[in-house]
């Protein structure tokens, strides 16, 4: 009997989860925005960590260091910038991406609940 109750509860939660986007602009707008914000934050925080730690921060740190070493287009400056910038950018990108991703999820999930834009972190604001 307990197993059937758990299955019924899970089915009702899934049914409510699939119906929530339809209420986002209707009479339950604030509730839909809340669920949209929570859902987008859950997806965007890990996505932000991946994007900022593996791509954006290492690239920007490497470019910044190569520029500070003298010539942003020079081979030696870019190698030195990459040796220092990739690990530093990776480590800096983890908390930075988590914060940026969660912030993006909260803001865009509330403004435009369950839209495609609320689940894409890579767009610069």
Q: Give me the residue spans of the domains in the chain.
A: 30-118
Q: Bigger pLDDT: 36 or 59?
A: 59
The answer to whether the predicted template modeling score (pTM) of the entire model surpasses 0.85 is no
Please give the mean pLDDT across all residues of the chain.
Answer: 84
| pLDDT at residue 65 greater than cutoff 70 | yes
The residue with tokens 């900022």 is 52
Query: Distances in Å between the alpha carbon of 88 and those of 3, 18, 81, 85?
Result: 50, 41, 10, 5
Supply the pLDDT for residue 26.
57
* Percent of the chain residues topping a pLDDT of 70: 82
Distance of CA 100 to the CA centre of its chain: 7
């Amino acid at each position: 009997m307990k197993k059937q109750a758990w299955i019924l509860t899970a089915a009702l939660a899934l049914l409510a989860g699939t119906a929530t986007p339809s209420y986002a602009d209707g009479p339950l707008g604030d509730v839909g925005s809340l669920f949209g914000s929570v859902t987008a934050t859950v997806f965007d925080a890990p996505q932000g960590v991946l994007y900022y730690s593996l791509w954006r921060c290492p690239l920007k740190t490497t470019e910044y260091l190569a520029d500070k070493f003298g010539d942003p287009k020079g081979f030696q400056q870019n190698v030195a910038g990459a040796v220092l910038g990739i690990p530093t950018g990776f480590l800096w990108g983890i908390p930075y991406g988590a914060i940026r991703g969660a912030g993006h999820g909260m803001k865009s999930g509330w403004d435009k609940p369950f839209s495609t834009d609320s689940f894409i972190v890579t767009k610069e604001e």
